[in-house]
Structure 1
C-alpha cells in the first residue's frame, strides 16, 4: 500500500522556469555543472505576417546560463523549434523573450540572481561569474546593464529627498588622470530614523561647477523639496547650494568642524616642538608622546591619560599648546551636550571668543577662529537640525573604499559609478522587499 505524503518534485518550479515560459523535460547532473533540458511551454506556430499556421522546419538548441543551485553552474538547454509559413515562406523561431533578453547569454532569472548577489550580498563579479559558469566580461556587462535598466535608470529613485549630503571621493590612487569625484547622498532616511543613507549620484570632478550643474539638472519641484544640505568645509559646495537651493539650510558637518580643531592643535604642537628642540618629535619627547592623548575628549580619557596631560601642561613652555587644546576640548564638549540648545550656546560663545580675543603668538588659533567665524551660521545650523550630519556620507565613502578593494581597483570610471550606485544606492529593499 502506498503511504507517501510527498508529491514528486516539479522540476520546472524547482528550477524557477515558471516565469520564463519554459518547461523542464529532463536534467543531467555532473560534478561541475547541471543541465536542464527545456522546451517552450506555449509555442506559437502562427505567422506574424499573414496569420496562417506554419509547419515545423527543424529544431535548434540554445544554451543559457541560469541561476546556480548549490553554487553548481546551471545551464538551460532549450530545444528551440523553427517554423516556415507555407503562404509567405517566412521563417521564424519560437519566442524566448520571456526567458532571455535579446543577444543575451544569461536567463532573466540568472540575471536577477546575479544582481541580487551584487547588491544585497556584496559579491564580487568574479564570484558571480563563477556561479553562472560564464566569463568575467559576460557577467560584468550583463549585470551592469540589468542594474542600469532596472534600478539606476528608475527616475523615482530621486523622489522624497529632503536632506542632501555632498562630499568628494578619491576613486583611484594614480598619478595620471583625474582621481576625484563628487558623491551626492540622500540623508533623509537617517534624519527621519527610517533607514540608512543611500548614494544618489556620483559625478566626475570636484568643484562648485560640478555640484551646481547637477543641481540645475533637477526639476524645480525636486529642488524646492530639499530642506538641508550637509557638507564639509569646501566653500565651492556651499556656493553651489546657496545659488541653486536658496531655501535650504547649509549645515557644516561636526566631523569636519572638530577636524579643524584637531588640525590646529597638531600644528601648534609641532610648532612648539620645533621651537624647543629644533627638530621633529621623537618617541621620547613629551609633546610627541602625548600627540594622541591630546586629541582624546576628556569625557573619554582614562585617569592615566588625564594625568599625562596634566604633567605635560605643568611645563610653562607648553602653554601655547594648552590654549589650543582647551579650545579643542570645548569644541568637542559642545557637540556632546545632550540638549542641542546648550550645545549651540556653548559653540556660539566659543566662536565669538576665538574670533576676536586670540592671544599673540598663536597663529593656529587665529586661523581657526577666522574659519569658524566665516562658517558660523553653517556650524550653528547643525544644532537646529540634529541628524543632518554628513557622517553617513563619510561612511558611504568607506564602503566604496571596500568595494574598490574587493575589485582590486577600477580603471573605468563609468563601471565604477555603476558599481558604486548598485553597492550603496539603497536598492536592497527593492530586490528583497521583505528585508
Structure 2
C-alpha cells in the first residue's frame, strides 16, 4: 500500500536546521577552539608559569608597543588606499573593467615573495631602487640607503600595502550596493564629486569600513612574515615573532608562547563585539531605488590611472625585484645584464626538495580551498539567514572570526600539540614552497640585513 509523503512542518524544519547548525558549530569549534584551550591550559599550568615567563621578557612593553603600532599604522594605510581604490574602481571608463582585479592581485602573491621582493629593491646596500636613488643629486654622497627597508616605518608601509586588498574587497562590494538615485540627487543639489563621496558614499559605507577595518586590524596584529624577515636583526619585534622565537629556540617554551598570544585572542573577540556595537541595525545602511544599484554614472580616466599606479607599486615592483635576482648569478647593487640567465631556475628544478615543496604548496592549497568553500557556505548561511537561531548565530560569528585574530604561529603550535594524538592525527613532515623560500632567505649573505 503506497504511503503519502508529508512535507515537514515549519517547526520541524526549524528544529532540523537548528540541529544541523549545532553539529556544524561543534565540528568547527573542535578544530578551532580546542587548540586554543589546550594552549591556555599549558600557559596556566604550574601556577601560570607561562605567563610569568612571558612577563619576564625585558622588552615586553616595547614588543607590545611595536605590535600595536604595526597594526594601527597598517590599518590607516589599508583603509585610505582600499577606500580610494574602491571608489576609483566604481568610476572606471567603459572598457576598463578588468582593472578592478588589480587591487585584489596582491592577495594572490605570497607574503614571503612580496616581502623578499621589496628587500631586493630597498635594502640599504644592494637594493636596486636604493642604487638608483643614490644616483640623484640629493643622495649621491651616500654609500647606503637612502631607504632602509628593515626599519619599522617601512615594515608598516609594506604591511599596509598587503592589507589594502582586504579593505578594497569590502568597500567595493559596499559601493556596488549604493543606489544611483542617491548619488544623482546629491550631484543635482550642487555637490562636487568629493562632496558626494564624503556626504553620501562614506556614511553608507560604514558596515563595509567597519568589517574591512576590523579584518585589517586583526591581520595587522597577527602579522608575522614582514616583521620576521625584515625586523629580525634590526630590533623590530612583535608578539608573533617573539612567539616564534619561543617555539623554535632551545629550550622550547610552548607555555610562554601561548601566554604571549593571549592578548591577540582576547582582542580578536573584542573586535567582533565592537563591530556589532558600531553597526547595530544594518538595515539603516541599505538604499533602495527604482533604478539598479549602480555606484555612479560619472566616469573618469583618473580612476584608471589611480588603480594602475597602485598596481605598479604594490605588485609590479616587488615582482621585478624577484625576477632580476632570479635571473642574476648573484645579488648586487649593479644589474649584470650580460650575465642574466636561467641557471637559477635550472638549479631549482634539479633539487628534488624544492620541487616537492612546490607540489606540496599546490596540493595543500587546493585541499584547503576544497575544505573552506563548503564550510564557509554553511557559516555564511547561518550568519545571513539564521535569524531564528540567534544564539547559534552569535556563536558562529565568534567562532568563524577567531582565526582572523589569532596568528598562524600560535594556531600552528596549538594544532601541533592537539592533533598529534588520537582521535585526529594531522601531523606531517612535508615542506611548503614558502617555508623553503624563508630558509633560503635566512641562509643568504644579505638575508638578515
Q: TM-score band (shorter)? A: under 0.3
Name the structure where helix makes up a greater proportion of residues. 2
Q: Which has the higher contact order (CA 8 A, sep 6+)?
A: 2
Higher share in strand: 1
Q: Decide which structure has the larger Cα Rg and report it.
A: 1
